[in-house]
Amino acid sequence: MKPLILVSNDDGITSKGIRTLINVMKSIGDVIVVAPDGPQSGMGHAITVGDTLRLEENFIFEDVKAYECSGTPADCVKMARHFVLKDGRQPDVVVSGVNHGSNTSISVLYSGTMSAAIEGAIEGTPAIGFSLCDFSHDADFSHTEEYIRKITLQVLDKGLPKGIALNVNFPPKRNEAIKGIRLCRQANAKWIEEFDQRFDPNGRRYFWMAGNFVNFDKGEDNDEWAIANNYVSIVPCQFDLTAHQALPVLNELWDIL
C-alpha cells in the first residue's frame, strides 16, 4: 500500500511552493492537502481559539484531494487528522512547504511552515518542513525536487525519533549544483528588530517592523553555514522546550525550592 502523505504549508494553498511539494509527493504516495486559504507566514504555532474555523474543498490540484482552511498551519494539521481523516487512515508522514523564504536558525520559532511539521510530530507522525532560502517573487524551486524526494523517502523508510520534526532548508538556485546534504545544528543567530514609525491619513500612529538578521555563529556545523556554502541543511527539531541542563543548576542555586 502506498504511504498516505499529508501536505500543508503557511504560504497558502495557491502558493508556488506547495504545488512543487505536491508534485513530488504524488510520485511517492497518496496525497491529502489541508492548507491555509491565504498567507499565514510568521504565525508560529498559533492556533485559532475564540473564533470560527472554516474548511472548504478546493479543486485546484489534479488527482489530489485538497481542502483550504481559514486557520493557521497548526490548525490545518489538527483539522486534517481529527476531522478530514478521522474515520480513515492517518498519514504516514506530514510534509510542509515548500516555504518561500528561509527558515534557518531562530526563524524556526516564528515559522508557520515548521509549526505544521511540529504539529505532526506532536501527533506522533514523522514530519518534515521544507523551505527555500529565496524571497524573490520569481524564485526557482526546481532544484529542490530531487532532495525533497530523497529526504521524504528516507523518513518513510527509516523513520524519525519520537517527537522529532526535520527543518530542511534549500539554498537558492545558483550556477553550480547543490553540493549535498548536511545534518546540522541551528545557528546562533537572531533578528535585530527596528520599528518604523508612520502615520495614516487620519494622523494615527502605526508601526512597521523591520530589521536585520545577524549571524553570531562562526562554526561550520550549523544551518546558516550549510546554506551559505550551497548545501541542503537538515536540523532535527523538538517540541520539548525544557532546558534540561538548567534543572540541576537551578535546584542547586535557588533557595525557594
What cell numbers appear for 42 in the block?
A: 510568521
**Residue 257: what pLDDT?**
74
Q: Determine the 3-state secondary structure of 35 from DSSP.
A: strand
Q: Cβ atoms within 10 A of the Cβ of 105, count?
A: 27
DSSP state letter for 66 = E
Q: Cβ atoms within 10 A of the Cβ of 64, count?
A: 17
Q: What are the C-alpha distances in Å from 100 to residues 105, 135, 175, 190? A: 16, 6, 20, 19
CB 11 within 8 A of CB 72: no
Task: Write down all domains in the chain, each with its CATH number in brackets.
Answer: 4-186+218-253 (3.40.1210.10)
Q: Could you tell me the pLDDT band of residue 42, with boundaries at 50, 70 and 90?
A: confident
Cell 546554506 belongs to residue:
227
Span 144-160, mean pLDDT?
98
- Give the Cα-Cα-Cα angle 113, 117, 123 (nearest 5 degrees): 145
* pLDDT over 80 (residue 4): yes
Residue partners of 82: CB distance under 8 A and separation at least 6: none
Tell me the whole-structure pTM to 2 decimals: 0.95
CB 148 within 8 A of CB 102: no
Helix (H) or strand (E) holding 145: helix 145-158
Annotated binding site: 10-11, 41, 99
CA distance 179 to 97: 22
DSSP state letter for 222 = B
- Give the Cα-Cα-Cα angle 93, 98, 100 (nearest 5 degrees): 155
Q: What is the pLDDT of residues 56-115, one digit of tens each?
A: 999 999 899 999 999 999 999 999 999 999 998 999 999 999 999 999 999 999 999 999
Strands 55-58 and 65-69, by their bridges, are antiparallel
CB 207 within 8 A of CB 196: yes
Residue partners of 199: CB distance under 8 A and separation at least 6: 205, 206
Cell 504549508 belongs to residue:
9
Annotated binding site for a divalent metal cation: 10-11, 41, 99
Q: Determine the 3-state secondary structure of 203 from DSSP.
A: coil
Q: What is the pLDDT of residues 187-229, one digit of tens each?
A: 999 989 999 999 999 999 999 998 899 999 999 999 999 999 9
